[in-house]
Structure formats: C-alpha cells, structure tokens
C-alpha cells in the first residue's frame, strides 16, 4: 500500500526529513516540477519559512501544513483556514531556550561582554590596560516586556531573581501576573528604562518600536528584541542609538534577514545575534520532532497536536 505523500518545499532541519521518511513518502522541492498526478497526492507539508496562498492553492489535496518554529508568519494561515486546511507550529518546546537567550542578550548589552572579549582578544589587557567600566548596570532597572505570552512569561520569571522591577504591555491583561500592566506600548516605554520585545509578526505589530517609543525609553534606555525584526523601525533605532536617544540595544532578529543594515553593524552600542534564540541542538531537535509529530498525529488519529489559532480544528 502506498504511503501518504508529504511535501518538503525547501530547506528544513535534517531531523524532520529523517523522521518523516520513517512514516511518509517525502517529496522534496518545488511542486511545480512535479506532474499533476504527483501533486494531487500530496496531503501534508513540512515547511520552515514561507508557504503563501499561491503555494497552498497549488496543492489540491493538502490537509495539514506543519510549520517549523512558533512564529508562523511565513505561512498564510488565514488562507489555509478558509480552505479547511490545518496549520500547525512548534510552541512551548522552545520557551526556555528563547527566554535564556533574551537574558543572555540583555546582560551582554548592558555589561558589554562581547566588546570586552574582543578587547581582550585584541591584546589590550596584557598591555596593562583595564577594560572601561560599563556605563550601565542591570541593577535597579525597570524592565518592560512587550508581549507576555508563552515566551514573555518565561523571560519575566527569569528576571525575578535579578531583583528588577517588571512591567508589561499586551492587548489582554493578565490579572494573575505579579507585574505592572500598561494598556499602551507608549505608556510602558515611558515607565521603564529597559524594553524587551517578544511579540509576533502581525499587521498590528509592524514598526511599533519607532522613534516615539525609543524617545520615551530615554537616554539610559536599553532595547532588546527576540521577537521579530518586523516590529522595529530600524532607521529610527539606528538613529536613536547613534544620537544617544537610547543607550544600547541587543537584537536577535532583523527586518530583512539575513541582511543586517550597516548603520546597525557600525554601532558600538548594539549587540547583534544571527537569529539564534532557539538555536541549540536539543531545542531544535524538539521543534523538529513536533513538526513531524503533528503530521503523524493528524494522519494517524485525526487530531493535530499544536494547531495555530486560525486553524479550523480544536487543539
Ligand atoms: P504567544 O504565546 O502567542 O505570545 C505573544 C504575546 O504577544 C502575547 O502576550 C500577546 O498578547 C502579545 N501580542 C500580540 N500582538 C500584540 C499587539 N498587537 N500588541 C501587544 N501585544 C501583542 O507567542 P510566543 O510563543 O511567546 O512567541 C512570540 C513570538 O516570538 C513568536 O511569534 C515569534 O515571532 C518570536 N520568536 C522568536 C524566536 C527567535 O528565534 N528569536 C524564537 C521563538 C519565537 P495579546 O494577544 O493579549 O496582545
Ligand atoms: C526559529 C523562531 O529560528 O520559532 C520561531 O518563531 O523564530 C525560531 O525559533 C525559526 O522559526 C526557524 O527558522
């Protein structure tokens, strides 16, 4: 008996391919290179990155699109839902890794550890010099978290032992959260001196970190982004860092990855990482497993494990 066909349209974690091949007929590459009969057999997709409306429409028999990553902004989930097609993502299994990265990036940005290491490697220490004292300290800061979802909550929990004050902005208040709530991002930015962004890429979050918000954060302000580059007006951020409108920034994500603007690369007060917040072997393996397990569960038991909110089935 022939097995169910699953399309892998582009590059994906190797473990996804290995595990998929245990249960499915895996078709790799662009479906436009396949004949109509082969395309018609594809019932599942495993994708890392983009799968737009046209790609969805090109597969007449597709039932489930399993997306690698918790952010599924590359997949047109609304369009899929309108056709009764399920989209799944990989929530929760990466919360700890991403929250740990946010804390590491925050400390690197505030205490300048990457710059200090470069200074040591350049031979300055043995010349009898001392690395300059960092301008900023985490001690006594008021940290605002923009997005208190699965990952934002883990970031907040990790911040508690640092004895900083913690506040947040989301559209929906979390009455049980022991942190200050601000119903607007502007009010949050005015109240805090440190802002961590961990919101998804949506039409509502586009360039919401703009000149006004950065100015509200102030000259001692530190901005950290582990959410999506889409959320930031990078021109305004580079200008704010250069002019001293804010003090420093730590960024794991960028507007047009992997293109990091020169105006950010040139700044000494920006710590820049290549979108690696979930990038450890164990966490990426767990994400890969969840991509495959969603397909296995759907085709085996008729119930996906982690459908996205737009999708027309209950979790
Ligand atoms: P989540 O559980 O869905 O949480 C999202 C949070 O953002 C919620 O608190 C939500 O609250 C808030 N939010 C959404 N839209 C908002 C808006 N317009 N204004 C204010 N708050 C808004 O998602 P998650 O699992 O924590 O992941 C968050 C995002 O992090 C992902 O979507 C992904 O883009 C990014 N991410 C990045 C990496 C990386 O490698 N750097 C890794 C993992 C995830 P309300 O709905 O109440 O507003
Ligand atoms: C991944 C992420 O790096 O989960 C997300 O939303 O941004 C990261 O964990 C990405 O999805 C893999 O390409």
Q: Print pLDDT tens along the chain (315 aa).
A: 579 999 999 999 999 999 999 999 999 998 888 899 999 999 999 999 999 999 999 999 999 999 999 999 999 999 999 999 999 999 999 999 999 999 999 999 999 999 999 999 999 999 999 999 999 999 999 999 999 999 999 999 999 999 999 999 999 999 999 999 999 999 999 999 999 999 999 999 999 999 999 999 999 999 999 999 999 999 999 999 999 999 999 999 999 999 999 999 999 999 999 999 999 999 999 999 999 999 999 999 999 999 999 997 654
User: Which ligand 1 atom sits closest to the C-alpha of 173?
Assistant: 47
Is the dihedral angle over the CA atoms 184, 189, 192, 195 positive or is it negative?
Answer: positive
Q: Is the distance from the beta carbon of residue 24 to the nearest atom of ligand 2 less than 6 Å?
A: no
Residue with the nearest Cα to atom 22 of ligand 1?
170
Q: What is the CA(151)–ligand 2 centre distance, in A?
A: 12
- Active-site choice (19, 141, 169, 228): 228
Taking the CA of 283 as reference, the closest ligand is: 2
209 close to 196: Cβ distance less than 8 angstroms: no
275 is catalytic: yes
Q: Is the distance from the beta carbon of residue 229 to the nearest atom of ligand 1 less than 6 Å?
A: no
d(CA 268, CA 58): 47
User: Which three-class secondary structure string do you get for the chain?
Assistant: CCCCEEEECCCCCHHHHHHHHHHCEEEECCHHHCCHHHHHCEEEEEECCCECHHHHHCCCCCCEEEECCCCCCCECHHHHHHCCCEEECCCCCCHHHHHHHHHHHHHHHHHCHHHHHHHHHCCCHHHCCCCCCCCCCCCCCEEEEECCCHHHHHHHHHHHHHCCEEEEECCCCCCCCCCEECCCHHHHHHHCCEEEECCCCCHHHCCCECHHHHHHHCCCCEEEECCCHHHECHHHHHHHHHHCCCCEEEECCCCECCECCHHHHCCCCEEECCCCCCCCHHHHHHHHHHHHHHHHHHHHHCCCCCECCCCCCCC
173 is catalytic: no
Backbone torsions φ then ψ of 71, nearest 5 degrees:
-75, 125
pLDDT at site 315: 47
Q: Is the distance from the beta carbon of residue 71 to the nearest atom of ligand 2 less than 6 Å?
A: yes
- Active-site choice (275, 284, 310, 314): 275
pLDDT at site 314: 57
Backbone torsions φ then ψ of 236, nearest 5 degrees:
-65, -40
User: Which ligand 2 atom sits closest to the C-alpha of 275?
Assistant: 3
Of the candidates 116, 111, 102, the residue with the CA atom closest to the CA atom of residue 138: 111
Residue with the nearest Cα to atom 10 of ligand 1?
147
**For 314, left (φ over 0), alpha (ψ -120 to 50), or beta?**
beta
Q: Is the distance from the beta carbon of residue 91 to the nearest atom of ligand 1 less than 6 Å?
A: yes
Residue with the nearest Cα to atom 10 of ligand 2?
69
Q: Is the distance from the beta carbon of residue 204 to the nearest atom of ligand 1 less than 6 Å?
A: yes
pLDDT at site 33: 87
Out of 199, 227, 257, 258, mutate this one to test ligand 1's pocket (max ligand atoms within 8 Å of CB): namely 199
pLDDT at site 34: 87
Q: Could you tell me the domains of the chain?
A: 5-90+281-301 (3.40.50.720), 95-272 (3.40.50.720)
Token output for 212? 């006004």
pLDDT at site 1: 56
């Amino acid at each position: 008996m022939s097995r169910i066909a699953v399309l892998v349209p582009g590059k994906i974690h190797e473990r996804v391919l290995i595990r998929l091949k245990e249960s499915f007929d895996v078709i790799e590459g662009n479906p436009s290179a396949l004949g109509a009969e082969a395309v018609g057999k594809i019932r599942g997709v495993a994708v890392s990155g983009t799968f737009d409306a046209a790609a969805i429409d090109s597969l007449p028999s597709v039932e489930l699109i399993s997306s690698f990553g918790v952010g599924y902004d590359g997949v047109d989930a609304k369009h899929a839902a309108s056709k009764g097609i399920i989209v799944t993502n990989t929530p929760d299994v990466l919360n700890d890794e991403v929250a740990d990265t946010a804390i590491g990036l925050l400390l690197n940005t505030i205490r300048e550890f990457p710059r200090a290491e470069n200074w040591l490697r350049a031979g300055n220490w043995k010349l009898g010099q001392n690395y300059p004292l960092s301008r900023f300290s985490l001690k006594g800061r008021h940290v605002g978290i923009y997005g208190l979802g699965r990952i934002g909550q883990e970031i907040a929990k990790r911040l508690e032992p640092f004895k900083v004050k913690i506040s947040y902005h989301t559209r929906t208040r979390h009455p049980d959260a022991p942190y200050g709530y601000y119903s607007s991002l502007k009010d949050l930015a005015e109240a805090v001196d440190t802002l961590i962004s961990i919101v998804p890429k949506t039409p509502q979050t586009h360039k919401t970190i703009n000149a006004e918000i950065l100015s509200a954060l102030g000259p001692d302000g530190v901005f950290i982004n582990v959410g999506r580059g889409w959320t930031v007006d990078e021109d305004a951020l580079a200008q704010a860092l250069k002019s001293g409108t804010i003090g420093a920034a730590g960024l794991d994500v960028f507007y047009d990855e992997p293109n990091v603007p020169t105006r950010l690369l040139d700044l000494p007060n920006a710590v820049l990482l290549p979108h690696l917040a979930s990038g450890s072997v164990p966490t990426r393996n767990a994400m890969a497993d969840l991509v495959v397990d969603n397909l296995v569960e759907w085709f085996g038991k008729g119930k996906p494990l982690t459908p996205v909110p737009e999708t027309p089935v209950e979790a």
